[in-house]
Every structure is written in C-alpha cells, then in structure tokens.
C-alpha cells in the first residue's frame, strides 16, 4: 500500500460497504468473523459505518443488520435510511416509465420484476427467476401489477440474453441496466446510483466525499468508486473496479476487509505472535546438540521462509557439525554458525548473502534464534541465540517506542534484546526449560579476546524434527 493511499485514510470519517462478495460471499452466505470486530472497532474510534447495496433493506440478511451500521443506502441508492429506519432519501421510478418498460419486456419476450420499499415481486414464477432472486429475497410473490398500488425503486430483467440486451432509445434516456447476475440486470433510473444515495447521507452527516472509504466488488460499485475519496476493491472483484481502486485487498474468505483496514491504520492489526504461543506453532523443530547440552527450537517458516530454508538445508548437510560458538557475551547472546570459527566466514545455500526477513510477528526475545549479519541484507550461515535476562527498558517505554503491547510485556517479563529488532532476522525460539538451562550454561563460559570462549563450545549435531515426526 503506497503512502498516498495511507494519507487518504487519515481523512476517513465513515466507511461504507457493499454486501455481496464484499462483506459476505453471495453464493454461500459465508461472512468472516472478523467483520463483527471491524464494525465494533470502527465505532469505538468514532468512524461511522454504512451499507451501500443494490439490495433493498428487506433483502439485507440479519447478520448484516446486527452489525448496526449507521446508514443503509439501498436499492442502488433509490431508498436511503438511517439506523433508526428514518428516511433520508426516497426516489421511486415514475409510473409512466414503468409502463413503457413493461410493454418493452412483453415485446422482446423477457420477464421482469419490481423492488418496492417493503417487498420484491416478479411477473411470473419460473426456475430462472427463482434461481436469481431466491438467494437474495427468498421466494417472491407473483404480481405484475404491483406498480399500480406501490412505489417501485428499481426493476429487473430476467433473461438469458446477458449483456447483449439493450434498451431502446425511448427508455434508455430514463433508465439503464446494471448487470448483477448471469440471468438478470437491475433496471435503475438514470442519475440514481449508490453514489447519489450516499450524497444524501453526506448532506445529512455534514461530510465530504473525501471523508468516505468504500469497499466494493462489482459493476454497480463503479459510480461509488468515482465519487468517494478512498476506494478498496476486493480481491475477488470485477476487473474494471480493480483498475479504479486505490488498493486491491484480499478475498472475502481471506479477511480482505480486515486486512485493508489494518494496512490503512484504521483498525489495529490483530497479530498472532508465534513466540508467545509455541504450543500452536507449525513448522519444524530442531535440536542443537552441543558439548554442554542440547537446545530445542521451534522454527517459523511462514514468517521467515528463506532464512528457515537456509538453516535447515545447512543443518541437514552437517554444515554446522563441529562448528563452535565463536562469540559468547553473557547477558546478551551466544553466536555460532561460522565453519572458520573466526566470525568472518560462512556461506548461505544461495551462494551469496541473502535479504533480511523482518516480521511484525517475531522479536529478539530471550531464547530467540536470529541471523547474525554484517549489515542489512548480508545473511549467510551465522546465527545467534538471545540470552539476556534483564532489560534496561520498562514495558511502558517499549510500548511508547512502538512495540506491540504483548511483546513489550514479554520483553519485560523474560528479557531479550529489543534494540536488535528490525536489524536481525528472527526465525526460531527455544521451546523448553532444559534448553534455556543449556543456553545459560553456555553463556557462563569464560571468554577471552573478541568474546571467544577459552574452551570450545561445539555443535555436535543439529537434528531436524518435521511436523509429521513430532
């Protein structure tokens, strides 16, 4: 996400969402649990929320209503209400246009339907119609004369013609098609759209388009994308919409809305810190056997894939066999992995130094396994294990410095080397008490010049334990 997009987010005072394939998957009804948390946190931050949908209010499923949005821009902007159900905008299609549309449908041989304020109806009962509308509105009544006694806010086509279907000029000057289903288009009054409905909300709320962030996925979101200050397209969205988007997020099933809002800084990132939840960690374990004892470590391939792959390949090739810990500093760390024992050697499996892999989830806590380097992106074979017990910083100081609250607390409780974060790649963590005892025993080793142990502390072997072997 670029700096310009993040700057736009600073102006956001309200977030509006499409429903189908944005908040939830239309075909299955799946809505991620993260959506509830998103609405709750936005409200806590004083950011208003709204729904902007082609659906009528009665077609908005209960789990969406339970999110308690501040506004509902419904029926493609023709009917707008607030969270109390009070009307903000009401713009039905004139009867004469409806009658012209019905006559045209009869002439070309297609079926039709109407969206009223309180119900949807269809011109007849067919499987094609039910396949399109039942997932949205349930089984609709058959009432081709509905418009004579009720306001109609948009209409539908039901056909197998697709985008080849065109309105005659006598109708296209007043209404247009917005395709939403393989066998159906919304028939919307010209000048009416989600964007025009939103404009009435902004008038009421005293907001400007630049204050609005909108999430959408389909062709009926194009006008919204042209109107609002910040637009996010879902990963599963229409190609045209993605081209107009400030940012394309992940799919619905991948928590795309949460991900985008986290990246924009509008909600706090819900990070899982694997070093603090080792019992749930996935990935290989390794046992470093030394002449002073063994240390078992959990590796984190998801967060540091190249680093873990490098370490595992070297370990399996016995690259580290009989290699010493050439630098030991009590109350700091133990460093090894250089076959020359000088601290100047070692090579990665890539044949050249490789890039750092910094993760927001991993930190140089006590017991962390990290890569030694000679500066940015100079990783080879050398590594160190953080041994420090005590920290010169308080938990509050670390929080104020930008460390996550849980990590600041872990540093204060366990110790570590926070000054190495974002400078050295963390890719593993000691997993049990006996490993820490070995670490501390190694750290007590007497050292001479350049912090090199007087008596060698040697790696006898590194055993790799894969997930399936646990």
Q: Do residues 141 and 119 make contact, with C-beta atoms less than 8 angstroms apart?
A: yes
Angle at 385 between CA 383 and CA 388, to 5 degrees: 140
Residue 87's beta-bridge partner residues? Answer: 81
DSSP state at residue 74: E
Q: Do residues 120 and 158 make contact, with C-beta atoms less than 8 angstroms apart?
A: no
Closest CA to 152 of 181, 196, 122, 182: 122
Rounded Cα gap, residues 46 and 211, in angstroms? 13
Rounded Cα gap, residues 39 and 17, in angstroms? 11
Q: What is the dihedral of CA 236, 238, 242, 248, to 10 degrees?
A: -10
Closest CA to 300 of 437, 433, 430: 430
Is residue 18 part of the annotated active site? The answer reads: yes
Q: Return phi, psi of residue 462, to 5°.
A: -125, 115
Q: Do residues 375 and 429 make contact, with C-beta atoms less than 8 angstroms apart?
A: no
Rounded Cα gap, residues 29 and 23, in angstroms? 10
Rounded Cα gap, residues 434 and 26, in angstroms? 52
Q: Do residues 236 and 251 make contact, with C-beta atoms less than 8 angstroms apart?
A: yes
Half-sphere exposure of 242 (CA within 13 A, CB side): 10
Q: How many residues are listed for the chain in this entry?
A: 470
Query: Checking phi first, is residue 29 left (phi over 0); if not, alpha (psi -120 to 50) or beta?
Result: left
Q: What is the largest distance, in Å, between two alpha-carbon atoms of the chain?
A: 98
Catalytic member of 18, 111, 151, 221: 18
Q: Which residues are within 8 A (CB) of 317 and not within 5 positions of it... i.e. 6 or more apart?
A: none
In angstroms, what CA-CA distances link 271 with 205, 258, 298, 402, 405? Answer: 34, 12, 19, 14, 11
Count Cβ atoms below 10 Å from residue 198 Cβ, excluding itself: 27
User: Active-site residue numbers?
Assistant: 18
């Amino acid at each position: 996400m670029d700096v310009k997009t993040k700057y736009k987010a600073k102006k956001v005072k309200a977030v509006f969402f499409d429903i189908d394939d944005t908040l939830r998957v239309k075909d299955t009804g799946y809505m991620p649990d993260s959506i509830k948390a998103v609405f709750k946190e936005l409200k806590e931050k004083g950011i208003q929320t709204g729904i902007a949908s082609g659906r009528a209010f009665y077609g908005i499923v209960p789990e969406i209503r339970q999110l308690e949005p501040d506004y509902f821009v419904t029926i493609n902007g023709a009917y707008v209400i607030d969270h109390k159900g009070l009307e903000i905008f009401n713009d039905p299609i004139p009867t004469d246009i409806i009658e012209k549309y019905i006559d045209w449908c009869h002439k070309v041989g297609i079926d039709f339907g109407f969206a009223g304020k309180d119900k949807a109806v269809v011109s007849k009962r067919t499987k094609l119609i039910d396949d399109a509308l039942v997932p949205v509105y349930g089984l609709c009544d058959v009432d081709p004369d509905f418009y004579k006694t009720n306001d109609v806010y948009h209409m539908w086509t039901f056909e197998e013609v697709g985008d080849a279907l065109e309105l005659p000029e006598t109708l296209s000057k007043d209404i247009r098609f917005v395709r939403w289903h393989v066998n159906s288009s919304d028939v919307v009054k010209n000048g009416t759209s989600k964007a025009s409905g939103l404009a009435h909300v902004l008038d009421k709320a005293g907001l400007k388009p630049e204050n609005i962030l909108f999430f959408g996925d389909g062709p009926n979101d194009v006008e919204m994308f042209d109107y609002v200050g910040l637009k996010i397209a879902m990963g599963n969205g229409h190609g045209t919409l993605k081209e107009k988007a400030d940012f394309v997020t992940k799919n619905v099933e991948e928590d795309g809305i949460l991900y985008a809002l986290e990246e924009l800084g509008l909600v706090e990132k819900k990070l899982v810190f694997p070093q603090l939840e080792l019992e749930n960690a996935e990935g290989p374990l390794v046992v470093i056997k030394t002449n002073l004892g063994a240390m078992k470590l959990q590796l984190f391939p998801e967060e540091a894939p190249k680093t873990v792959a490098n370490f595992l390949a070297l370990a399996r090739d016995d690259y580290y066999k009989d290699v010493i810990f050439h630098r030991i500093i009590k109350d700091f760390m133990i460093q090894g992995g250089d076959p020359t024992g000088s601290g100047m050697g070692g090579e990665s499996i890539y044949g050249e130094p490789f890039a750092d892999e910094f993760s927001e989830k991993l930190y140089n806590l006590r017991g962390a396994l990290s890569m030694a380097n000679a500066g940015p992106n100079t990783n080879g074979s050398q590594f160190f294990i953080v041994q420090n017990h005590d920290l010169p910083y308080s938990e509050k100081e670390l929080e104020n410095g930008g460390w996550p609250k849980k990590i600041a607390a872990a540093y204060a409780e366990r110790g570590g080397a926070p000054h190495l974060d974002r400078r050295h790649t963390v890719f593993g963590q000691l997993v049990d008490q006996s490993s820490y005892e070995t670490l501390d025993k190694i750290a007590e080793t007497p050292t001479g010049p350049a912090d090199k142990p007087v008596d060698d502390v040697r790696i006898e072997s590194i055993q790799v334990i894969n997930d399936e072997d646990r």
